[in-house]
A = this chain, B = another copy of it.
Amino acid sequence: MSDGATPGKATSGKAPGPLARLSINQETIKQWSLPDLAAGCTAAGITQVGLWRAPVQEYGVRRAARLMRDSGLTVTSLCRGGFFTASDAGDRAAALDDNRRAIDEAATLGTGTLVLVSGGLPPGDRDIAAARERVAGAIAVLAPYAAERGVRLAVEPLHPMYASDRCVVSTLGQALDVAERFPAEQVGVVVDTYHVWWDDTAAAQIVRAGTGGRIACFQVADWVTPLPEGVLLGRGQLGDGCVDLRGFREQVDAAGYRGPVEVEIFSPALWARDGAEVLAEIAERYRRHVR
């Protein structure tokens, strides 16, 4: 791993550079192919990336693993497994199979973290508590399989606006309630500022997560309004919104987290721009608002 220095800046070989903890989730600059991402990050002195299953599968999982390795890049997480709230037995079995493949892919990529988005309520279902129980049941099946392959499952709470159609796990507290049923080395949680910023219990839950060694991944994005239709692609560039990003980074650090700070922004405005320009802006914003 490099020292994460920005290009053109002289740094000692030992002192960690300002971008040492920064990881770029590939969905943030999805106009880039995997080779573009590898080259762009390397050129910018960034040594860590978060990957998504679909583009990795399209490129080839082994080939992607080799590309990252040859570029000196660490894969900090693979997004995403999950979507196991189906009550139908066949759908449930299919979801478990798909998650085993996701675990295999994470292992091949050399990342220890598979992010899980739990899934929403099946059509016509009004029992969100039961759906959350099915999430825990699926993790019980998958966690040992993942652990054997060196992969930890990371339960990600998504903002409550996604509770019905995407993720019935809505708060860090709920995610920890699930994760703590399993050994910490097998199941952790994701702390993503976009999803938890509004929650006045988040600070206490971050302490709980850190104390238990459960913070598997820390992701940052800012909250901006108005939200777009479907509310999926409305995340803000770091510093453009109302989230105290540095405050959250300090909280996870104080709770003992020493891992990467992964920037994951879904924004058509960023996707429409030149990738290198977006990356440079993220690095600058990261230094100003997060580090």
Contact = CB atoms under 8 A, between A and B. Distances in A.
A174 B202 CA distance: 13
A13 interface: no
A161 interface: yes
A200 B241 CA distance: 28
Contacts of A125: 242
Nearest to A124: B242
B229 A163 contact: no
Interface stretch (A4-12, A35-43, A89-97, A219-227): A219-227
Interface SS of chain A: helix, strand, loop or mixed? loop
Taken together, the copies of this chain in the complex come to 2
Interface in A235-259: 241-244, 247
A127 interface: yes
A238 to B, nearest CB: 12
Given A159-B161, A160-B161, A198-B170, A231 B242 contact: no
Contacts of A126: 242-244, 247
Nearest to A243: B126
Contacts of A243: 126
A132 B200 contact: yes
Interface string A173-213: 01000000000000000000000011110000000000000
